[in-house]
Structure 1
Amino acid sequence: MPNSKEIYILAIESSCDDTSAAVLHNRKMLSNVVATQRIHEEYGGVVPELASRAHQKNIVPLVHQALAKANIDKKLVSAIAFTRGPGLMGSLLVGTSFAKSLSLGLQLPLIEVNHMEAHILAHFIEEPGKTPPSFPFLALTISGGHTQIVLVRDYFQMEVLGETLDDAVGEAFDKSAKLMGLPYPGGPLIDQYAKDGDPEKFPFPIPKVDGLNFSFSGLKTSILYFLQRESQRDPDFVTRERNHICASIQHTIVRILMEKLTLASAQTGIKEIAVGGGVSANSGIREALRNAENELGWKVHIPKLEYCTDNAGMIGIVGYLKYLQGRFTDLGVTALARYSINSGN
Structure 2
Amino acid sequence: MTVELDLTADPVDLTAAVVAVPSVSEDEAVLADAVERALRAQAPHLEVVRTGNAVLARTNLGRASRVVLAGHIDTVPVNDNLPPRLVDGVLHGLGAVDMKGGVGVMLHVAAAVTDPKHDLTFLFYDCEEIDASRNGLLRVERDLADWMRGDLAIVLEPSNGTIEAGCQGTMRIAIRTSGVRAHTARGWMGVNAIHAIGAVLSTLAAYETRVVDIDGCTYREGLQAVHVSGGVAGNVVPDAAEVRVNFRFAPDRSPAQAEAHLREVFAGFDVTVVDGAAGALPGLTAPAAQELLAAAGGTPVAKLGWTDVARFAALGIPAVNFGPGDPTMAHTQHEHVPVEQITECARVLRQFVGG
Q: Same fold (TM over 0.5)?
A: no
* Structure with a larger share of its residues in strand: 2
Structure exhibiting the larger radius of gyration computed from Cα positions: 2
Name the TM-score class by shorter chain: under 0.3
For normalisation by structure 2, the TM-score amounts to 0.22
* Structure with a larger share of its residues in helix: 1
